Structure 1
Amino acid sequence: MDIEELLPQDPEGKKEEPKKQSPLVSLEKDLELYSDSIKEVSIAILNEGISTHPIFVAHQHTVTIGEMILDRTELNTDWTIQASTLDEFVQKGIINPEKKALFLKSYKKPQEFMCVFVIVPEGANFIYYPYKK
């Protein structure tokens, strides 16, 4: 079955509005650009013993978690990145303490992947994006 078969059809022949480009397209472009800088911060968080689980927050608005490391207005990009940790996410209630073990099971090697908490108007979610080789 094709995905199109699952989508609502337009029986009245009305033209569909053009689809908006997903914000994740611009996020991927920015993460490629930011990759080396984010990896450098991740390694610093690990080496300085701040956390064994760095988390980066990608957003286009103002958020109150983590510390800003890459400002979209200064860099003329679409996304701002803030550095945080698993501990801060638990302290702020973003990750429920009872779900911490479940989160850790899915957490990927921070030397190879950036853990990014992406915040968009529709909601927020974690993604893992590989660092450039």
Structure 2
Amino acid sequence: MDIEELLPQEPEGEKKEAKQSPLVSLEKDLELYADSIREVGIEIMVEGISANPIFIAHQHVVSIGELILNREELNTNWTIQASTLEEFVEKGIINPEKKALFLKSYKKPEDFMCVFVIVPEGANFIYYPYKPRK
């Protein structure tokens, strides 16, 4: 599956906003969402679904993962969906031969959220740290 297949085509004539990095608004939303994302990640691991939760951040409609935080309902910029390493391999986003390499770079899910960020220009993985629990 190609990344392009995950994204709908942009409607023509849609106004482009001033070019500010989408990561600025993403960081703000991840800060807001962090506790909820952490809870879902822990649930995925405790229930034995996967040891490697992956969260998808997007502003369109994507066909991977389960919706957990809807930007329209929360009046934010990014929607978050929960997925797993296994689903990413199954859908061909992570090549099965590269799974071990991915796992080497995968950070401890108790400390970092693994986020697959999808923007019109492409997609990439980032690791966003959770704030230490007090």
**How would you bin the TM-score normalised by the shorter chain?**
0.7 to 0.9
Which residue of structure 2 lines up, in the alignment, with residue 33 of structure 1? Answer: 32
Which residue of structure 2 lines up, in the alignment, with residue 55 of structure 1? Answer: 54
What SS class does the counterpart of residue 82 from structure 1 fall into?
strand
1:105-116 equivalences in 2 (<5 Å): 105-116=104-115
Which residue of structure 1 lines up, in the alignment, with residue 90 of structure 2? Answer: 91
- Which runs of 5 or more residues in structure 2 are unaligned? 1-17
The alignment of Structure 1 onto Structure 2 pairs a total of residues equal to: 115
Give the aligned residue type for 1:61. H
Sequence identity (%): 82
Structure (1 or 2) with the larger CA radius of gyration:
1
- Which runs of 5 or more residues in structure 1 are unaligned? 1-18
Give, in whole Å, the separation in 1 of the partners of 2:19 and 2:120. Answer: 14
Give the aligned residue type for 1:119. I
Note the aligned Cα RMSD (angstroms): 0.7
Deviation of 1:130 (Å): 0.3
Q: How high is the TM-score relative to the length of structure 2?
A: 0.85
Which residue of structure 2 lines up, in the alignment, with residue 16 of structure 1? Answer: none
Are positions 1:78 and 2:77 aligned together? yes
Q: How high is the TM-score relative to the length of structure 1?
A: 0.85
What SS class does the counterpart of residue 36 from structure 2 fall into?
helix
Which contiguous aligned blocks of 4+ residues in structure 1 show a shift greater than 4 angstroms?
none
Deviation of 1:37 (Å): 0.2
